[in-house]
Amino acid sequence: MELMKNYSDIWRGKNNVQGNKSENQIQILQMECRKKLVPRHNGDWFVVSPWALTWDDENYYLVAFDDLDHRVKHYRVDKMMRISIEDEKRDGREEFKNFDMAEYSKATFGMYQGTKTNVKIRFANYMCGVFIDRFGKDISIRKVDEEHSEINVNVNVSPQFFGWIFSLGKDVKVVGPSEVVEQMKECARAFLENMN
């Protein structure tokens, strides 16, 4: 029910204000390692300018211009705790003038081609929600220490998969199997060589 209310509020805010108005303030939830939804950033409000709604892998996403970071981002509608529709100028018109939703979806949510392999990934506990969102609530999360956890998941091992892991930053790493770790190191070396 909350999902449909959020969807309705976003759609109303996106469409019922004339011209270039209707920013939204949203509070976002994230999944913790115990698989409970908790407020993200202590429940702080995010100010975003909504431009599109999209559907991928059984989830709705709000595609919006983030007013703080000044870039396009997406937010899962079912992870929105509260939505407040503001009568403020909507930002991001230039970014969305020639925006290709199909390309954005393919680049952001697309499945990867590659050899399906069971991979072990280690990450900082604050990132549990990222992996639950990607692989589902049924994944088994094992505690490594007070600050880190691990999962074993079947993935299509490919440069796109490695790129996704790299994009998550230094608090995430593939730790097995060894041949996948070596492939990832080789991918990183090739990328760095290409920078010269």
Which tens digit of pLDDT belongs to each residue from 125-139? Answer: 999 998 988 888 888
E strand or H helix at 39: strand 37-39
Q: pTM to 2 decimals?
A: 0.58
* Segment 69-85, tens digit of pLDDT: 888 888 888 888 888 88
- pLDDT (average), residues 89-109: 79
Domains and CATH numbers, the chain: 2-108 (2.30.30), 115-194 (3.30.70)
Does pLDDT of 111 surpass 60? no
Strand partners for 189:
none
Beta carbons within 8 Å of 1's beta carbon, 6+ residues apart = none
Weakest-pLDDT range from 2-16, 74-88, 130-144: 2-16
